[in-house]
Amino acid sequence: MPTAVDPSVNNVAFNSITVRRGAVFTTTLTGANLNAEIYFDVRFRAPGATSDEVALNWQQGTIRNRTIDSTTLLGLWRVTGVRAHRDPNDHSAAFIPVSASLTVVP
């Protein structure tokens, strides 16, 4: 169970809910005890998938600009959980359930 000093996430937000391939969007994570040194693992579901996947060290810091690759699968991408951690090699904490969606279009 996290203590008061452990980082935790309570929200994931995208600056746009629809993004074209090749375009840039911004991801913002908010919560407790977060800063530019914190790493975030993300649990997500790709369009058409029936189970979640995990992206380790998906982001460092609470705000990051990303570019949608031209080969990214089109459709609705859902973030279902995030875990925050200080050590980039420690992925042992439990995921905190969150819900955020992003639709990739041509």
Query: What would the pLDDT profile of 50-99 be if each residue is shown by its tens digit?
Result: 999 999 999 999 999 999 999 999 999 999 999 999 999 999 999 999 99
Q: How far is CA 101 from CA 31, 59, 74, in A?
A: 18, 17, 13
What is the residue type of 90?
A: D
Closest CA to 41 of 91, 78, 4: 91
- The predicted model scores a pTM of 0.89
Neighbours of 88 (CB within 10 A): 12
CA 53 to chain centre: 11
> 8-105, what's its fold?
Immunoglobulin-like (2.60.40)
Tokens of 50: 């029936």
Q: What is the pLDDT of residues 3-54, one digit of tens each?
A: 447 899 999 999 999 999 999 999 999 999 999 999 999 999 999 999 999 9
- For the chain, the structural domain boundaries read 8-105
